[in-house]
C-alpha cells in the first residue's frame, strides 16, 4: 500500500526507523484538570526494523512496550521524535495521509476475543479491512481471498461463516493473524500475541508466524515478556526499562554476552530450556519505579547491583559497540 511514497525509499533505509520517540501521558488533577505531571511511558527511544526482520521488545510490565507499538500508528500521539516508515515520517502526516500506512503496519494483540467483534462472522471480520483499503474488486473476490487467508493460517475455509466464539483461543489468534494479513502489511506488531496461549498452542502460532515471515517477507516488532520466545523468533532484541531502551543487539549477543546489568538480571532468571521458568525479572530485585517519577541519574540505579556513586546523579548516554548498544556507564569504552 505504500506505493504512495514514490521515490522516497532508499535501498539502505530500514523499513522502520524510530528516532527520539517520546510519548508521555499527562496526569491531570483538581477541578480544573490541570496537568500536574506526566507518565513518561516512552521517553526518547531509537530503534530500527529492517524488512523481513524480527525485533523483540522486552521489559517488565509498564515499561512502555505497548505504548511504543501504538505510537507507531499514532493510536496514541507521540509528543516528539520521528517514525520513519519507508523513509516517510508518519508523525508529520495528517490523519488522512496516514490512512494508507494503517494497512502497512498491523497490530495483533494478546486477547483475540477482545479484538474480534463477537457479532461479526469471520468472513466479514477479515474482509472488512480489505474493503476499507480497496483490496479485492468485489465481494466475491474478497470472499475468495478470505478462504485463501484462512487456509494460509491453517484454518478450514468452510468455517468462514462462523462467529469468533465458535473457535478456540489459538484458532482465534489465527483469525486475528489472517485479518492482519488481509490488508497486505509489511510490518506486524505482535503485542504479547502468544502470551495467553498454552505452551503447545503458542509453539504452533510461533511456527506459523515464522513461516509467514519467510514466505511474505514480513517484519515483526515482537513485544513479549517471554525470553524463551525471543530467543526462538527474534533476530535482534531491544530491552526497555521505565520508558527507555537500555540495551539493543543481535539476539545471540544479548543472550550470550548481555552488557547492561538490567539485561543480565532478566536473563539470570531464565534457563532458556525450562518453559516453567521463563518469566521475566525473577532475579531483578526491588520494584519497578513509576514512569511518572523516574529516578534521577540512571533509571536502573536503585535496583542495580553494580551501581556506583555517579549512577545516582548522572544519566548514562547510550554507548555503541559493534552491532549493539548499552545505556550504562560500565559500557563506556573510555572507562576501560
Ligand atoms: N492511555 C494512557 N493514559 C495514561 N497512562 C497510560 C496510558 N497507556 C499506558 N499508560 C501508562 O504508561 C506506562 C506504560 O504502559 P504500557 O502499557 O506501554 O506498558 P507495557 O510495557 O506494555 O506493560 P505490560 O507488559 O503490562 O503490557 C504505564 O505506566 C501505563 O500505566
Ligand atoms: S549506569 Fe550504573 S546504575 Fe545504571 S546500569 Fe550501569 S552500573 Fe547500573
Ligand atoms: Mg503491554
Q: Domain containing 125 — which CATH number?
A: 3.40.50.300
Residue 2's pLDDT is: 41
Centroid of ligand 3 to alpha carbon of 80 (angstroms):
21
Closest residue CA from atom 6 of ligand 2: 328
From ligand 1's centre to the CA of 63, what distance in Å?
A: 7
Q: Is the beta carbon of 45 within 6 A of some atom in ligand 2?
A: no
Stated as kind and residue range, the H or E segment containing 142 is helix 139-152
Ligand 1: nearest atom to the Cα of 64:
18
Which of 264, 307, 317 should be mutated for ligand 2, with most atoms under 8 A from CB?
307
CA of 66 to the centre of ligand 3 (A): 4
Q: What is the pLDDT of residue 336?
A: 64
Tens digit of pLDDT at every position of the chain (336 positions): 444 344 445 567 899 999 999 999 999 999 999 999 999 999 999 999 999 999 999 999 999 999 999 999 999 999 999 999 999 999 999 999 999 999 999 999 998 888 899 999 999 999 999 999 999 999 999 999 999 999 999 999 999 999 999 999 999 999 999 999 999 999 999 999 999 899 999 999 999 999 999 999 999 999 998 898 999 999 999 999 999 999 999 999 999 999 999 999 999 866 544 444 444 444 788 889 999 999 999 999 999 999 999 999 999 999 999 999 999 999 999 876
pLDDT value of position 11: 60
Check pocket membership of 329 for ligand 2, CB cut-off 6 A.
yes
Nearby residues for ligand 3 (ion, Cβ within 5 Å): 66
Please state the pTM of the whole predicted model: 0.93
Ligand 2 pocket, residue 266 CB under 6 Å: no
What gap in Å lies between CA 97 and CA 214, rounded to an integer?
A: 30
| Position in ligand 2 atom list of the atom nearest CA 331 | 6
Which ligand 2 atom is at minimum distance from the Cα of 308? 2
Ligand 2 pocket, 221 CB below 6 A?
no
Cβ atoms 133, 183 nearer than 8 A: yes
Residue to probe by mutation, ligand 1, list 27, 39, 290, most atoms within 8 Å of CB: 39
Cα–Cα distances (Å) from 304 to 65, 161, 271, 321, in that order, read: 21, 54, 21, 22
Hunting for cell 505452551 — which residue is that?
Answer: 199
CA-to-CA separations, 47 to 205, 252, 267, 277, 312, in angstroms, rounded: 26, 18, 21, 29, 26
Task: State whether the beta carbon of 319 lies less than 6 angstroms from ligand 2.
Answer: no
d(CA 328, CA 306): 10
**Phi, then psi, of 52 in degrees rounded to 5:** 75, 5
| Ligand 2 touching residue 301 (CB < 6 A) | yes
Residue 40, ligand 1, Cβ within 6 A: no
- Count of structural domains, the chain: 1
- For residue 112 and ligand 2, the question of a CB distance below 6 A is answered with no
Domain of 15 in residue numbering reads as 2-335
Q: Does the C-beta of 8 come closer than 6 Å to ligand 1?
A: no
Q: Which residues pair with 29 in a beta bridge?
A: 34
Instruction: Report how far residue 74's alpha carbon sits from residue 85's, in angstroms, rounded to the nearest whole number.
Output: 13
Nearest to 316 by CA among 336, 299, 291, 304: 299
Question: What is the rounded distance in angstroms from the CA atom of residue 180 to the CA atom of residue 216?
Answer: 13
Amino acid at each position: 500500500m505504500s506505493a504512495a511514497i514514490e521515490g522516497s525509499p532508499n535501498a539502505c533505509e530500514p523499513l522502520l526507523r524510530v528516532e527520539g520517540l517520546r510519548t508521555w501521558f499527562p496526569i491531570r488533577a483538581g477541578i480544573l484538570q490541570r496537568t500536574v505531571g506526566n507518565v513518561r511511558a516512552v521517553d526518547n527511544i531509537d530503534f530500527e526494523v529492517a524488512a523481513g526482520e524480527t525485533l523483540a521488545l522486552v521489559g517488565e510490565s509498564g515499561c512502555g512496550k505497548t505504548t511504543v507499538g501504538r505510537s507507531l500508528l499514532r493510536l496514541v500521539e507521540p509528543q516528539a521524535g520521528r517514525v520513519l516508515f519507508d523513509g516517510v515520517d508518519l508523525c508529520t502526516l495528517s490523519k488522512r495521509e496516514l490512512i494508507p500506512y494503517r494497512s502497512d503496519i498491523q497490530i495483533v494483540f494478546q486477547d483475540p476475543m477482545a479484538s474480534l467483534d463477537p457479532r461479526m462472522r469471520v468472513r466479514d471480520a477479515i474482509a472488512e479491512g480489505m474493503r476499507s483499503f480497496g483490496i479485492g474488486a468485489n465481494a466475491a473476490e474478497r470472499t475468495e481471498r478470505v478462504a485463501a487467508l484462512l487456509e494460509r493460517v491453517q484454518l478450514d475455509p468452510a468455517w468462514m461463516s462462523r462467529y469468533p466464539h465458535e473457535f478456540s483461543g489459538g484458532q482465534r489468534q489465527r483469525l486475528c493473524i489472517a485479518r492482519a494479513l488481509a490488508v497486505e502489511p509489511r510490518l506486524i506488531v505482535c503485542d504479547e500475541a502468544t502470551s495467553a496461549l498454552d505452551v503447545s498452542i503458542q509453539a504452533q502460532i510461533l511456527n506459523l508466524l515464522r513461516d509467514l515471515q519467510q514466505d511474505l517477507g514480513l517484519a515483526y516488532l515482537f513485544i513479549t515478556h517471554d525470553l524463551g520466545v525471543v530467543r526462538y523468533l527474534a533476530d535482534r532484541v531491544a530491552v526497555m526499562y521505565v520508558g527507555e531502551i537500555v540495551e539493543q543487539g543481535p539476539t545471540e549477543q544479548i543472550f550470550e554476552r548481555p552488557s547492561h546489568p538490567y539485561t543480565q538480571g532478566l536473563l539470570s532468571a531464565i534457563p532458556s530450556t525450562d518453559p516453567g521458568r521463563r518469566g521475566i525479572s525473577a532475579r531483578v530485585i526491588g520494584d519497578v519505579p513509576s514512569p511518572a517519577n523516574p529516578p534521577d541519574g540512571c533509571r536502573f540505579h536503585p535496583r542495580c547491583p553494580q551501581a556506583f556513586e555517579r549512577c545516582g546523579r548522572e544519566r548514562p548516554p547510550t554507548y555503541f559497540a559493534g552491532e549493539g548498544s548499552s545505556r550504562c556507564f560500565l559500557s563506556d569504552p573510555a572507562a576501560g
